[in-house]
Amino acid sequence: MKYNKLISWIIPCFNEQEVLEISIRRIIDFTAYSSHYDWEFIFVDDGSKDNTRDIIKSYNLQDDRVKLVGLSRNFGHQYAVQAGLNNAYGDAAIIIDADLQDPPEIAKEMISKWEKGFDVISGRRVERVSETFFKKISASCFYRILNLLTEIHIPLDTGDFRLIDRKVIDTLKQMPEKGRFIRGLVSWTGFKQTQIKYKREPRLAGKTKYSLKKMIVFALEGLTAFSSRPLRLATIFGLVCSFFSFLAILYVLYIRLFTFAWVPGWAGLAVAILFATGVQLISIGILGEYIGRIYDESKGRPMYIIDENLGFSKDKD
Ligand code: UDP
Ligand code: MG
C-alpha cells in the first residue's frame, strides 16, 4: 500500500486571537485542494496572554490534525518556529505566520517545486502592501547589510515563509545554537534552494507582534550569528584612528618644538577625544555583542520550554 506524504504546517502564534480562527480555517480549507497529501497543522502558542491557546484547543477537538505546542512563556518567533519543527512528523514542513500576511495558497506552488526536487522553497516578497514605510526601509536595508557582511547568501526579502524538506528539518534539529536566525541557518545548510515570488498582504487583524525592540534583537542576532566581520570592522576603525592620531602627534610635536604657536587649541583636542571615545565605545559594544552570544550559548539552557502538548500521539518520537 502506498502512503501519502505528510506535510506539516508550522504556525507560530503570539496573541493572535483576532485572526487565528480565520487563519486556521483558511489554511485547512486550502489543503482540501489535494488528496494526495496528509496534513498536520502545528500551532505553536508562544506564551500568548489572550485566548489563542483556547482557540487552538477547540480546533483540536474538531480535527485531530490540528496540534498544539504550548510554550511556557513568550520565547520569541524563531524559537516558536523551532519548537514546531522539532515536533513535526512531516516529510516536509511549511512555516507560515498566523496573520495570513503570506497567502497559504502559495504553498501549492511550493509543494510542486518540492516534488521536482527542491529542498528549500522560500517565499520572496516582491511587494509589501500597507506595511509601514519604516518597516519596508529597515527590512530592505537589513537584508542588504546582512548579505554584505555575512559569508553565506541569504536571499533578499525572504522571510520564514517557506517549505523545507525533512532533510533540512533534521539538520536544523541538530543545530543547538541559540540566538536563532532560522532563515540564515536554512541557507547555511546549503540544500537545493529556490524562491517563489509573492505579494505580502497586510495583516488581517491585530497588531504586529514584532516590536521595535524585538526587531533590533532579531537583526543583531542575524548579524552576529552569521558574521564575524563586525569584529574586524572594529579593528579597522581602530587602525584608521590610530593612523590619524599618529599624524596628529607628529604635527603637535612639530608645532611644539619648532614654532611658537602652540598655546590655544582646545577645540581640536576636544574633537579628537570625542571621536576616539566614540570609536572605542562602538568597538567595545561590538565585542560585547559577541561575548554576550558566547555567554548565552555556554549556559546551555534549552531554546524553549513546552508546558503543554496536544494532538501528538505518545507512541511516536
Ligand atoms: N510571533 C511569535 N512570537 C513573538 C512574536 C511573533 O510567535 O514573540 C509570531 C506571530 O504570532 C506571527 C509571526 O510570529 O504569527 C510573525 O509576527 P508578526 O506578524 O507580528 O510580524 P511581522 O509580520 O509584523 O514582521
Ligand atoms: Mg505579520
**pLDDT confidence bin for 81, thresholds 50/70/90:** very high
Give the residue from 32, 91, 42, 94 showing the smallest Cα distance to 66.
42
pLDDT for residue 315 is more than 60:
no
Top mutation candidate among 15, 16, 77 for ligand 1, by most atoms within 8 Å of CB: 77
Residue 80 beta carbon below 6 angstroms from any ligand 1 atom: yes
Give the residue from 27, 14, 28, 136 showing the smallest Cα distance to 79.
14
Residue 13 beta carbon below 6 angstroms from any ligand 1 atom: yes
Percent above pLDDT 90 for the chain: 40
pLDDT for residue 85 is more than 70:
yes
Q: Is ipTM beyond 0.85?
A: yes
Grouping H, G, I as helix, E, B as strand and the rest as coil, residue 152 is: coil
- Ligand 1 atom nearest the C-alpha of 101 is 23
**pLDDT confidence bin for 263, thresholds 50/70/90:** low
pLDDT for residue 207 is more than 70:
yes
Residue 222 beta carbon below 6 angstroms from any ligand 1 atom: no
**pLDDT confidence bin for 95, thresholds 50/70/90:** very high
Residue 97 beta carbon below 6 angstroms from any ligand 1 atom: yes
- Ligand 1 atom nearest the C-alpha of 13 is 11
Question: What are the φ and ψ backbone dihedral angles of 280, each rounded to 5 degrees?
Answer: -65, -45
Instruction: Assign residue 304 a region (left: φ > 0; alpha: ψ between -120 and 50; beta: otherwise).
Output: beta
Query: Ligand 1 centroid to 96 CA: how many Å?
Result: 10
Residue 210 beta carbon below 6 angstroms from any ligand 1 atom: yes
pLDDT for residue 35 is more than 70:
yes
Are 67 and 310 within 8 A, CB to CB?
yes
**pLDDT confidence bin for 55, thresholds 50/70/90:** very high
**pLDDT confidence bin for 317, thresholds 50/70/90:** very low
pLDDT for residue 155 is more than 60:
yes
Residue 160 beta carbon below 6 angstroms from any ligand 1 atom: no
Residue 77 beta carbon below 6 angstroms from any ligand 1 atom: yes
Q: According to the CATH classification, is domain 5-211+302-310 in 3.90.550.10?
A: yes
Top mutation candidate among 210, 214, 216 for ligand 1, by most atoms within 8 Å of CB: 210
Q: Residue 169's pLDDT is what?
A: 95
Are 163 and 107 within 8 A, CB to CB?
yes
Query: Ligand 1 centroid to 16 CA: how many Å?
Result: 9
Residues 7-33 pLDDT 10s: 999 999 999 999 999 999 999 999 988
Query: Ligand 1 centroid to 239 CA: how many Å?
Result: 41
Q: Residue 316's pLDDT is what?
A: 47
Sign of CA dihedral 148, 154, 158, 161: negative
Whole-model pTM: value is 0.83
Query: Ligand 2 centroid to 150 CA: how many Å?
Result: 25
Lowest mean pLDDT among 78-82, 99-103, 219-223: 219-223
Find the mean pLDDT for residues 139-163: 82
Per-residue CA distances from 124 to 27, 53, 195, 311 (Å): 19, 30, 6, 32
Please give the mean pLDDT across all residues of the chain. 86
**Residue where the block lists cell 582646545:** 266
Residue nearest to atom 25 of ligand 1 (CA): 210
Find the mean pLDDT for residues 155-162: 83
Instruction: List the domain boundaries for the chain.
Output: 5-211+302-310, 228-299
Grouping H, G, I as helix, E, B as strand and the rest as coil, residue 268 is: helix
**pLDDT confidence bin for 262, thresholds 50/70/90:** low
Query: Ligand 2 centroid to 98 CA: how many Å?
Result: 7
Lowest mean pLDDT among 49-63, 211-225, 258-272: 258-272
Residues 217-254 pLDDT 10s: 888 888 888 877 788 787 888 888 888 888 888 888 88
Query: Ligand 2 centroid to 17 CA: how many Å?
Result: 14
Top mutation candidate among 82, 99, 132, 200 for ligand 1, by most atoms within 8 Å of CB: 99
Are 238 and 277 within 8 A, CB to CB?
no
- Ligand 1 atom nearest the C-alpha of 80 is 7
